[in-house]
Structure 1
Amino acid sequence: MIENTIAANVLGVTGAVCWAIQLIPQIVVNYRRKHARGLQSSMMLLWASAGVPLGVYNISKNFNLALQIQPQILTFLSLVTFAQVKYYKARWSLPHCLLTVSLLLALLGSLELGLIFALRPALHSRLEWPLQLMAALSALLLALGVGRHYVDVWQHRDVRGISFLFVAVDAMGDLTSLLSLFFEAPFDYVGCVIYSVELVMWIGIMGLGVWYHFWPSERSLARARAEAEGEAGEWLSPFFPPSTEW
């Protein structure tokens, strides 16, 4: 791997910026439509929790500053979205949402700070397994969060409720954060796994979105054109025959 501090910082900052704004499109969409249908509070709680071990890992490994701040942004925005889900779906009152989010922020922040100090003796003794445990836990929680949406897609045969702008920005944040590690020395294989897992899962969600939204629309347009031209029995698209049942 090529060590390049400037490249690592630029990519790390880009990843942090993407993660800083990733959930904002989803938050705005939820606010405008006044519902959070298709989103699960469990997904947001898993993501908020994932920020703790990820923050412990990134800070303890002394990654560039952007990657150290990144997990804190993830936790905060995840809890804001969690509050929206509870407000719109569970009909929690606004004070109830604010109090719950404040308590969770205090709890998770204290837990992360405590773990950072608790792991310092292990780092001085050059024990690697505690940090590897933090990395594995963060990757697991992130994957379970996205996996919860896979369950919803399976149940409803549709990618519903989720903002694809949010998915794209989040995937870009994972990608740039992953690339920034390639310019850190020594290369961190565990950190690479953390960002790679979520990136692959978001690519899967985008693929399902194309499957459930774009392909049926293309087929409908092909049928409409065929009927207008009186050629319903012919293929008007190289990929979507009008007679295909979906």
Structure 2
Amino acid sequence: MPVNAVAENGAAGFSVLGTIGTVFWAFQLVPQIIKSHRRKDTDGLSAWLLLIWVAGSIPQGTYLVVQNINIPLIVQPQLFSTFAIIAMAQCWHYSHGIALRKCIAAGVVTGAVAGGLETAFYFLCKLGERRGTSAATKTMGIVGAVLIVLGLVPQYYEIWRYKEVKGISLWFLAIDCAGGVFSLLSLVFKAEFDGIAAANYIGIVVLELGIFALYFTLNPRAKRRRQELQSEPTTETTATQQQGDEETPEWSRHTTLEKPPQQQNQ
């Protein structure tokens, strides 16, 4: 096969798999938002996870816009940060009892600040590019990738605190993990392997597979503990009643107007 044909096939493979991964990562939080809205509860879902992801999407979005890779990759962090802000506002409202209007206002302000910072970083990177250095652009890419991976760490704390995987949508995790797998596979078709991107994708997939493993390990145990706690009050009540029957004299079960059997015989 000619070299040009191989290169074209590689570029096509990278584009297709990369686009699939991008679509997954753009809408990964939608199942989480739907679940939180239906249950009106976000206990077990880390708001820090979402906040770090919003922060990470700022340098990541800056890097992709400056690089001008393709439209899906440029749009992805914008959609991702938008859904992350919505999910974070749900945490504020459902878990912390903050008024809905205040949560909406805080979400809008957070989005405006994120957009303003991304714009400022964009011009800063462009200024560096015009001066012949891409250090700022590369820094944005690395910082964004690191924050996206580190964002999953607070979720492990929530799992440790509740002793089970609670609040987080498994569909969200599955879609996010699939996005990482497709994005990782797309690197195979690149002419030059991107080690930083590969480490980012592998880190995300490993940490999310770890959450799945904890779900299948801890949640059955948590379910058994809840069942045992529900049955304990009945057992304790029965034992208390039996103990009371043994300690209470026979004559004291009569009304106060009645005398003990010995006195009645007298």
TM-score range, shorter chain: 0.7 to 0.9
Is 1:162 aligned to 2:200, yes or no? Answer: no
CA contact (8 A) 2:21 2:179 kept: yes
CA contact (8 A) 2:31 2:169 kept: yes
Match of 2:218 among 182, 193, 212: 212
CA contact (8 A) 2:45 2:168 kept: yes
Q: How many residues align?
A: 218
Match of 2:183 among 153, 177, 185: 177
Match of 1:56 among 59, 62, 67: 62
CA distance in 2, matches of 1:99, 1:36: 19
Task: Show the counterpart of 2:127.
Answer: 121
Q: CA deviation at 1:126?
A: 4.6
CA distance in 1, matches of 2:202, 2:133: 24
The range that moved more, 148-157 or 124-133, is 124-133
CA contact (8 A) 2:27 2:80 kept: no
For residues 143-158 of structure 1, what are the structure 2 equivalents within 5 Å?
143-158=149-164
Task: Show the counterpart of 2:198.
Answer: 192
Bigger radius of gyration, 1 or 2? Answer: 2
Q: CA deviation at 1:9?
A: 2.2
Q: CA deviation at 1:82?
A: 0.4
Is 1:111 aligned to 2:117, yes or no? Answer: yes
If the length of structure 2 is used for normalisation, what is the TM-score? Answer: 0.74
Q: CA deviation at 1:162?
A: 0.9
Structure 1, unaligned stretches of length 5 or more? 218-246
Match of 1:92 among 98, 104, 107: 98
Q: CA deviation at 1:19?
A: 1.7
After superposition, the C-alpha distances for 1:126-183 in whole angstroms (9 at most, x for unaligned) are 5343233222321232223200011111222211111111101001112212222333
Change (3 A) 1:131 1:178: farther
CA contact (8 A) 1:175 1:195 kept: yes
Q: One-letter code of the match for 2:167?
A: G
If the length of structure 1 is used for normalisation, what is the TM-score? Answer: 0.80
Is 1:203 aligned to 2:178, yes or no? Answer: no
For residues 23-62 of structure 1, what are the structure 2 equivalents within 5 Å?
23-62=29-68
Change (3 A) 1:131 1:192: farther
CA distance in 2, matches of 1:167, 1:6: 27
CA distance in 1, matches of 2:132, 2:216: 47
CA distance in 2, matches of 1:215, 1:126: 58
Structure 2 counterpart SS, 1:159: coil
Structure with greater helix percent: 2
Q: CA deviation at 1:184?
A: 3.4
Task: Show the counterpart of 1:131.
Answer: 137
Q: One-letter code of the match for 2:108?
A: S
Q: 4+ residue stretches of structure 1 with deviation over 4 A? A: 214-217
CA contact (8 A) 1:17 1:173 kept: yes
Is 1:14 aligned to 2:37, yes or no? Answer: no
